[in-house]
């Protein structure tokens, strides 16, 4: 399986895509993280669109996102999309906007042969239960037997930690704790978008 990654925003402030003047650093950090996950760099696209700047006060245009997704899907013959659910794991509005952009693309432009899946956001207790959430995630998937949910077990959680560590501009103590104790490091549930 080959992967394509679209990174919608490098950040905001002090110029486009340049949180704290770190825009180009964040792009390099993303590339280093992708190398750890063995994603070919020619399959990574980092956008720096003036209308898609990161921030809780920034609402992203779903039509614009759908158009960008359409261009990438058809330009690279992509047949599976994985995105956030409407909550976006952390509640970040831009994560939710990406979800709605994908849904808009699927509704308006998709020829119908594209599978789309969303990462299921979980409650706070499960989110920080680490390895213990593997059991809960599997139970959740078993409750939906028609193949509409899949539980993905991370066989290499250390690799996830190393990939996140590449984001040095954001590698604060609380992110280290998050990666160590978050169930998302060990298990993820995907729900089919219908």
Quick: pLDDT tens for 121-154.
999 999 999 999 999 999 999 998 788 999 999 9
Asked, for residue 94, whether it belongs to a domain, the answer is yes
Whether residue 68 is contained in a domain is answered as: yes
Domain that holds residue 53: 5-123+135-153
pLDDT band for 72, please (50, 70, 90 cuts): very high
The pLDDT tens digits of the residues spanning 181-192 come to: 999 999 999 999
Please tell me which residue, 21 or 165, carries the higher pLDDT value: 165
Tell whether 17 is covered by a domain.
Answer: yes
Do the domain assignments include residue 177? no
Domain count, the chain: 1
For 55-64, the pLDDT digits (tens) are 888 899 999 9
Instruction: Tell me whether residue 184 is in a domain.
Output: no
Question: Does the pLDDT value for residue 2 go beyond 80?
Answer: no
In a domain, 43, yes or no: yes
Could you tell me if residue 23 is inside a domain?
Answer: yes
Asked if residue 71 is part of any domain, the answer here is yes
Decide if pLDDT at 94 tops 50: yes
DSSP annotation string for the chain: ----EEE-----SSSTT-GGG-HHHHHHHHHHHHHHTT--GGGEEE---TT---STT-PPPHHHHHHHHHHHHHHHT--EEEEE-SSTTT--HHHHHHHHHHHHHHHHT--S--EEEEEPP--HHHHT-GGGHHHHHHHHHHT-TTTTEEEEE-S-HHHHHHHHHT-GGG--HHHHHHHHH-GGGTEEEEEE--
Band the pLDDT of 1: cuts 50, 70, 90: low
């Amino acid at each position: 399986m080959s992967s394509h990654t679209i990174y919608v925003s490098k950040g905001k402030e002090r110029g486009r895509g340049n949180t704290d003047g770190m825009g180009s650093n964040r792009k390099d950090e993303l590339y280093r993280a992708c190398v750890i996950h063995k994603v070919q760099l020619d399959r990574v696209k980092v956008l720096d669109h003036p209308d898609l700047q990161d921030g809780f006060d920034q609402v992203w245009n779903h039509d614009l996102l759908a158009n960008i997704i359409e261009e990438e899907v058809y330009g690279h013959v992509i047949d599976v999309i994985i995105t956030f659910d409407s909550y976006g794991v952390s509640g970040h509005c831009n994560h939710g906007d990406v979800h709605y952009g994908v849904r808009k693309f699927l509704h308006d432009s998709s020829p119908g042969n594209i599978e789309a899946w969303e990462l299921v956001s979980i409650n706070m207790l499960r989110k920080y239960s680490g390895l213990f959430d593997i059991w809960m995630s599997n139970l959740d998937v078993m409750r939906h037997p028609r193949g509409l949910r899949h539980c993905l077990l991370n066989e290499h959680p250390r690799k996830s930690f190393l990939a996140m560590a590449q984001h040095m501009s954001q590698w604060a103590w609380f992110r280290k704790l998050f990666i160590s104790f978050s169930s998302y490091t060990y298990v993820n549930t995907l729900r089919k978008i219908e």
